[in-house]
Amino acid sequence: MHNIVQNNITINNLPKINSFLFPEEYKILPNTSELFELEFAFYESKLLTKKEIIQRGAFFKSINGQDTNHYLICSNNSPLVWKGRSEITKAYFKEGNFSTGYATHGLFPYRGKFHPQLIKGLLNMLGLQQGDTVLDPMCGSGTLNVEASVIGIDSIGVEKSPFCILMSRVKHRCLRVNHKTLNSILENMTKNYKSLMKCKKIDSEFYSESCFNNEKAITLLAFLDAMGYARRCSKSIDILFPTVLKRYVGQINSFLQVRNKLNLKIGKAKFKLGDAMSLPIDDNSIDGIITSPPYSFAIDYAENDRPQLEYLGYNVSNLGNEMIGLKGRGIKEKLDNYFNDMNKALSEMSRVLKIGKYAVIIIGSNDVQTGGIRLETKVEEMAKNHSFVLDQKITKPIRGIQNTMRDEYILFLRKN
Ligand SMILES: C[S@@+](CC[C@H](N)C(=O)[O-])C[C@H]1O[C@@H](n2cnc3c(N)ncnc32)[C@H](O)[C@@H]1O
> 347-365, pLDDT tens digit by residue?
999 999 999 999 999 999 8
Residues 138 and 199 in one domain: no
> 240-280, pLDDT tens digit by residue?
999 999 999 999 999 999 999 999 999 999 999 999 999 99
Residues 275 and 139 in one domain: yes
Name the residue of 160, 271, 279, 363 whose CB sits within 8 Å of the most ligand 1 atoms, as the mutation to test its pocket.
Answer: 160
* Residue 375 belongs to some domain of the structure: yes
237, 262, 287 — which closes off a domain?
262
> 7-31, pLDDT tens digit by residue?
777 888 888 888 889 999 999 998 8
Ligand 1 centre to CA of 293 (Å) is: 6
CB 413 within 8 A of CB 356: no
Q: Is 365 helix (H, G, I), strand (E, B) or coil?
A: coil
> 319-340, pLDDT tens digit by residue?
999 999 999 998 999 999 999 9
Ligand 1 centre to CA of 301 (Å) is: 8
Residues 95 and 209 in one domain: no
* Residue 81 belongs to some domain of the structure: yes
* Distances 299 to 186, 365, 391 between C-alpha atoms, Å: 35, 12, 29
Residues 281 and 156 in one domain: yes
Residues 281 and 382 in one domain: yes
Residues 57 and 140 in one domain: no
Q: Which domain holds residue 48?
A: 1-100
Name the residue of 123, 323, 346, 375 whose CB sits within 8 Å of the most ligand 1 atoms, as the mutation to test its pocket.
Answer: 323
* Residue 172 belongs to some domain of the structure: no
Sign of the torsion formed by the C-alpha atoms of 382, 383, 389 and 393: negative
Residue 50 has a pLDDT of 98
- CATH of residue 343's domain is 3.40.50.150
Residue 402 has a pLDDT of 61
CA distance 255 to 212: 20
CA distance 291 to 124: 15
- The better pLDDT of the pair 11, 80 is held by 11
Nearest CA to ligand 1 atom 12: 138
Ligand 1 centre to CA of 174 (Å) is: 21
Confidence class of residue 131 from pLDDT cuts 50, 70 and 90?
very high
* Residue 409 belongs to some domain of the structure: yes
**Burial tier of 253 (Cβ tally within 10 Å: 0-12, 13-18, 19+):** middle
Residues with CB under 6 A from ligand 1: 110, 112-114, 138-141, 143, 158-161, 164, 275-277, 292-294, 301, 323-324
What is the rounded average pLDDT of the residues 307-322? 95
Residues 133 and 69 in one domain: no
| Ligand 1, atom nearest to 276 Cα | 20
Name the residue of 324, 344, 366 whose CB sits within 8 Å of the most ligand 1 atoms, as the mutation to test its pocket.
Answer: 324
Residues 145 and 254 in one domain: no
pTM: 0.94
Residues 361 and 287 in one domain: yes
Ligand 1 centre to CA of 157 (Å) is: 10
> 385-406, pLDDT tens digit by residue?
999 999 999 998 887 656 677 7
Choose among 251, 262, 256: nearest CA to 101. 251
Ligand 1 centre to CA of 181 (Å) is: 30
Residues 358 and 256 in one domain: no
Highest mean pLDDT among 32-41, 80-89, 133-142: 133-142
Choose among 367, 359, 360: nearest CA to 398. 367
| Ligand 1, atom nearest to 140 Cα | 27
| Ligand 1, atom nearest to 144 Cα | 8
* Residue 215 belongs to some domain of the structure: yes
Q: Is 214 helix (H, G, I), strand (E, B) or coil?
A: helix
Ligand 1 centre to CA of 294 (Å) is: 6
Residues 250 and 308 in one domain: no
CA distance 128 to 287: 7
Ligand 1 centre to CA of 324 (Å) is: 8
- The better pLDDT of the pair 185, 407 is held by 185
* Residue 413 belongs to some domain of the structure: yes
* Residue 27 belongs to some domain of the structure: yes
CA distance 121 to 143: 13
| Ligand 1, atom nearest to 164 Cα | 27
Quote the number of domains for the chain.
3
* Residue 328 belongs to some domain of the structure: yes
Residues 348 and 386 in one domain: yes
209, 229, 262 — which closes off a domain?
262
200, 235, 262 — which closes off a domain?
262
* Distances 382 to 346, 367, 413 between C-alpha atoms, Å: 8, 19, 11
Confidence class of residue 2 from pLDDT cuts 50, 70 and 90?
very low
CA distance 102 to 256: 12
